[in-house]
Amino acid sequence: MKIALIQMNSGSDKGANIAAARTLIEQAVREEKPDWICLPEVFDFMGGSRVQKFAAAEELPGGPAWTMLRDMAKTHGVFIHGGSILEAIAGDERIGNTTIAFNRAGEEIARYRKIHMFDITAPNGQQYNESATMKPGDAIVTYDCEGLTIGCSICYDLRFPDLFQALAEKGAHVIALPAAFTLHTGKDHWEVLLRARAIETQTYVCAAGQTGLHMHGDEQRATYGHSMAIDPWGHVIARASDGAGYVAARIDRARIEKVRAMIPVAQHKVLFT
């Protein structure tokens, strides 16, 4: 299976973000002919105010970001793992940070809401309080991609190996990680964590990131980018440069089976109570 990871520099202009995503999907399809495409976290809207975020959120199914993903999947006959978009949740004061996946026919086949909320203070002193706006999910989600099981995670989920182990136990061969990792945490932790999760679960970990600067209210914030694919042995098999664009790689089912046969950690696991 050939994959493409889309890297974006989204901002608070939703229409421009959707148009940029469409252009990058079409470029990847034209140049690489992938079977599966992954976009970054909140590709439809980054930054802005609380009011703007809620205005940009979509009731699912439907809305311009959801519709673009569906149409691209159907038009080009590809699986699209829609990074994440802002989801309006009826009757709730928060919104969802939600992945939507579509098959080659443009049918929605999975929906995952980010579980772990990014409530931290970065090394530069910037504070992130995702739970003030976002409602966490509680479901572990996988879906079938023509014989390969894809596991769903988003950004800060990367720091919680139990989720990745749960995805592996549900049969994941590939774990997708759309992200908007901060520059300050990304430069020290991004690659290390991605490789660790791939080695631990003996899966391909495919991470599509936001890159560059965006405004969060009056505050300028920076995301790390460096979208990459990691194989089950922990090797980086594709890595994006700076700026918007994409990278492509191949997923080899035999590679997964070989690694799991060499070091059968799933059989050796001891459960502690």
pLDDT value of residue 124:
82
Classified as helix, coil or strand, 172 is coil
| Domain membership flag for residue 185 | yes
| Domain membership flag for residue 84 | yes
Domain count of the fold of the chain: 1
| Domain membership flag for residue 96 | yes
How close are the terminal C-alpha atoms of the chain, in Å? 39
**Out of 53, 58, 87, 114, which one is annotated catalytic?**
114
Whether the CB-CB separation of 45 and 18 falls below 8 Å is answered with no
| Domain membership flag for residue 50 | yes
| Domain membership flag for residue 204 | yes
In what side-by-side order are the strands of the sheet with 174-179? Answer: 142-145, 148-152, 174-179, 204-209, 228-230, 236-239
Alpha carbon separation from 143 to 45, 89, 101, 171 (Å, rounded): 25, 23, 9, 10
Sequential pLDDT tens for the chain (273 residues): 999 999 999 999 999 999 999 999 999 999 999 999 999 999 999 999 899 999 999 999 999 999 999 999 999 999 999 999 999 999 999 999 999 999 999 999 999 999 999 998 988 888 889 999 999 999 999 999 999 999 999 999 999 999 999 999 999 999 999 999 999 999 999 999 999 999 999 999 999 999 999 988 788 999 999 999 999 999 999 999 999 999 999 999 999 999 999 999 999 999 888
**Out of 38, 152, 155, 206, which one is annotated catalytic?**
155
| Domain membership flag for residue 273 | no
Helix ranges restricted to H, the chain: 14-32, 50-56, 64-76, 161-169, 183-201, 253-262, 265-268
| Domain membership flag for residue 15 | yes
Active site residue 41: yes
**Out of 41, 53, 87, 206, which one is annotated catalytic?**
41
pLDDT value of residue 271:
86
Active site residue 155: yes
Active site residue 114: yes
Within 10 Å of residue 198's Cβ, how many Cβ atoms?
26
Question: What would you report as the CA-atom Rg of the chain, rounded to the nearest whole angstrom?
Answer: 17
Q: Which residues have CB under 8 Å from 123's CB, separation 6+?
A: 184, 185
| Domain membership flag for residue 41 | yes
Which two tokens mark 145?
């991609």
pLDDT value of residue 125:
83
The Cα 7–Cα 37 span in angstroms is: 11
Q: What is the domain-level CATH number for residue 242?
A: 3.60.110.10
Burial 136-170 (b: 16+ CB within 10 A, else e): ebeebbbbebeebbbbbbbbbbbeeeebbbebbee
Q: Domain range for residue 145?
A: 2-268
